[in-house]
Amino acid sequence: MINKGLNKDLSIQKWLFLKALKTPHMKPTFSKIIQGCMGWGAWGKHLNTNEMVDLMHHSMACGLTTFDHADIYGDYTTEADFGKAFSTSGIARESVQIISKCGIQYVGETRNNEIKHYQYDADYIVWSAEKSIKELQCGYLDLLLLHRPSPLMHPDEVAKASEKLLSEGKIKAFGVSNFTPSQTDLIRSKSPVTVNQIEFSITAHQALFDGSLDHMLQHHIIPMAWSPLGSVFKEKNDQTYRIHDVLRELSDTYNASLEQLLLAWILKHPAGIHPVIGTASKERIKSASGAASIDLSEVDWFKLLVASQGHKVP
C-alpha cells in the first residue's frame, strides 16, 4: 500500500509538471517594477538588518513587491543577509515574490573555485535552489532562473532539477537569464520556461532586433530587464547627449523625471517587460514606481529610439 501510494504521488507530480510544460499561458505574477537586491549587501550599500527591513517595507509601499536575487550576490552572502532581515520584517510571505538565480560558480572568498565557470547538473541546481531558500528564509522561491547559459548545459539534466523543484513546491516557476532564443528553446524543449531576464535599456536595445523579445512574446515568456537605465547617466558621449536632449523635452510633456521616462520606454513594449531596478535609494524607488502610470505615445517612444541609434528608422 505504501509503494502504491508513493507511485500515485509521483504520477500526480509528473502529470502536474507535464501540464505546466505544455501550458505556457499559466504565468506567475510579479510587480511591474522589480526591486533588484544585488547592491543591498557586500557588493553595494552594506545595509544592516534594520536598514534592509525598512527598505523592504518602503519598496512594497511603492508597489515593488518582487525582490530579485542571485546566489552569487555579495560573494554568496547577500541572500543570507536579506533572509535575516526578511525573517524579522513581519512581512507575510504570500505578499511578496522572491526570485533567485543559480549556476555561476564565482571565484571569491566563500567557495574554493579555481576559475569562474557554470554548473547545471541536476543535483547542483536542486542544491543551489534549496540553499537559496534556506538563506533567504522564504520557504520557497517564486522563480528560479539559470543565471547565464553554459556551453555544457544539457536540457535533460535541467529538466530533472526543474521537475523535482516544481513538483515539490520548492519553486513556483522556472526560467532563464541572459539566454538567446535558441538557448531558451533548448531548455524549454524539456522544462517550462516562464521568464528570461536579459540586459535591456534605451542604450542596450539589441533585444529589439535580434529576435529575443519577438521570441518571448511568441512563446509567452515574461521578459525582465536588468540595468534598465543603461549607460544614460554613466557615460557622456554623442549617444547619451542625444538621449538627454529628448528626455528633457519629454520631461515637460509628461511631467516626469528622466529615469521615469526611461523605464516607461521599456514598459511600452508589447512583450510586457518588467524592469529590474538596482537602487537602494528610497527616493529613486518611489520615483521608479511612478513610471508604470506613464503611457508614452508611439511617436515619443520612437523619438527616444532614434536618439539612441543616431539615425532614423529604416
| Active-site amino acid positions | 73
Number of alpha carbons in the 13 Å side-chain half-sphere of residue 208: 16
Which of 181, 127, 145 has the alpha carbon at shortest distance from 69? 145
105: which 3 cell numbers? 560558480
Alpha helices in the chain (DSSP H): 2-21, 49-61, 73-76, 78-88, 122-136, 155-167, 181-188, 212-218, 238-254, 258-267, 282-289, 298-309
Q: Determine contact, residues 81/52, Cβ cutoff 8 Å.
A: yes
> What secondary structure letter does DSSP report for 24?
T
Q: 80: part of which helix (H) or strand (E)?
A: helix 78-88
Alpha helices in 28-121 (DSSP H): 49-61, 73-76, 78-88
Three-class SS of residue 60? helix
Q: Determine contact, residues 208/268, Cβ cutoff 8 Å.
A: no
Distance CA 158, CA 242 (A): 44
End-to-end CA distance of the chain: 69
255: left (phi over 0), alpha (psi -120 to 50) or beta: left
Residue 214's identity, in one-letter code, is: D
